[in-house]
Amino acid sequence: MPQTEDINFSDFIASSIHDMKNSLNIQVGFLEHLMHSYHDKVDPNTLDQLGHTIYEAGRMNVNLVQILSLYKLGNSIYPIDISERSVTEMLEEVVLQNQSIMKHKGIEIIVDCAPDHYWYFDRDLVGGVLVNALNNAYNYTQDKIRIAADIRDDQLEIRVEDNGKGYPARMLNENVNSNKGVNFSTGSTGLGFYFSSRVAAMHKNGERQGVLTIENGGAYNGGCFVLTLP
């Protein structure tokens, strides 16, 4: 009898997620091309609907990347590269990824970071955390987002602040560095916070390790997503 090859279900899911991510990237690129090409040729409501579709597709793509990254981290096959990098360049790259959809919604993004700030971190993982934070801020801000970085107490503090209503008390009272699972009443999986807290904890220096926190206040008195790396 012919032997049947055992298929690892987790590997199969990861491969499928990778294919979906690539396909979704193509679709997002095409939708952004449509928005630019027909910006002055269709009514504003249609553009708003297209912009919202691009945002949701982009958010889904970020989720797929996070799931794939968590799978690789869990199986110790993620090529972690924590090395010294320019903080400003990383922040500007993250903003550039979101610039088109932010501009369409009329959101002003301010990057506040000294050009001589360098730190040790994995660029792709930390960039993924900040893209997730910007996606969240996009959904709740009125029209301003500030992404800032500074060195405090010998640690790198990166903040994503918006001028929305801020985080609800329920979220502020929860520990975002733990996996709360799925909330069926709100539809939240907690994936973004779980991924971000995992990435933060991977960055260590002596007895210190990275921490993710959320708070209200900041420059705009709105929601503040804070990533601290030792």
Residue 230 lies in a domain: yes
Q: Please report how the helices 44-74 and 87-105 are oriented relative to each other, as an axis angle in degrees rounded to 10.
A: 150
User: Does one domain contain both 188 and 219?
Assistant: yes
User: Does one domain contain both 40 and 118?
Assistant: no
* Residue 204 reports pLDDT greater than 60: yes
Query: Token pair of 35, please?
Result: 């928005």
User: Does one domain contain both 62 and 130?
Assistant: no
Residue 1 lies in a domain: no
Q: Which domain holds residue 152?
A: 82-230
Stretch 177-185: mean pLDDT, rounded? Answer: 47
pLDDT, tens digit, 9 for 90 and up, residues 138-151:
989 999 999 999 99
User: Does one domain contain both 13 and 99?
Assistant: no
Residue 2 lies in a domain: no
Answer with the residue of higher pLDDT: 36 or 156.
156
User: Does one domain contain both 64 and 91?
Assistant: no
User: Does one domain contain both 104 and 55?
Assistant: no
Residue 172 lies in a domain: yes
Residue 11 lies in a domain: yes
pLDDT, tens digit, 9 for 90 and up, residues 75-96:
888 888 999 999 999 999 999 9
Domain boundary among 78, 105, 133: 78
User: Does one domain contain both 40 and 99?
Assistant: no
Residue 35 lies in a domain: yes
Structural domains in the chain (count): 2
Domain boundary among 78, 108, 128: 78
Answer with the residue of higher pLDDT: 85 or 99.
85
User: Does one domain contain both 141 and 154?
Assistant: yes
User: Does one domain contain both 144 and 213?
Assistant: yes
Q: What is the mean pLDDT of the chain?
A: 85
Is 166 within 8 Å of 153 (Cβ atoms)?
A: no
Model confidence at 7, pLDDT cuts 50, 70, 90, reads low
User: Does one domain contain both 97 and 49?
Assistant: no
- The string of DSSP letters for the chain reads -PPPPP--HHHHHHHHHHHHHHHHHHHHHHHHHHHHHTTTTS-HHHHHHHHHHHHHHHHHHHHHHHHHHHHHHHTT-S---EEEEEHHHHHHHHHHHHHHHHHHHT-EEEEE--TT-EEEEEHHHHHHHHHHHHHHHHHH-SSEEEEEEEEETTEEEEEEEESSS---HHHHHS-TTS----BTTTTB--HHHHHHHHHHHH-EETTEE-EEEEEEETTTTEEEEEEEE-
- pTM for the model stands at 0.82
Looking at the DSSP bridge assignments, the partners of residue 83 are 121
pLDDT, tens digit, 9 for 90 and up, residues 208-222:
999 999 999 999 999
Percentage of the chain lying above the pLDDT 90 cut: 47
At 19 the pLDDT is 81
User: Does one domain contain both 25 and 107?
Assistant: no
Model confidence at 174, pLDDT cuts 50, 70, 90, reads confident
Residue 162 lies in a domain: yes
User: Does one domain contain both 116 and 28?
Assistant: no
Domain CATH number, residue 96: 3.30.565.10
pLDDT, tens digit, 9 for 90 and up, residues 22-69:
888 888 888 888 887 877 777 778 888 888 888 888 888 888 888 888
At 5 the pLDDT is 52
* Residue 186 reports pLDDT greater than 50: no
Domain boundary among 35, 52, 78: 78
CA angle 45/48/53 to nearest 5° reads 130
Is 140 within 8 Å of 163 (Cβ atoms)?
A: no
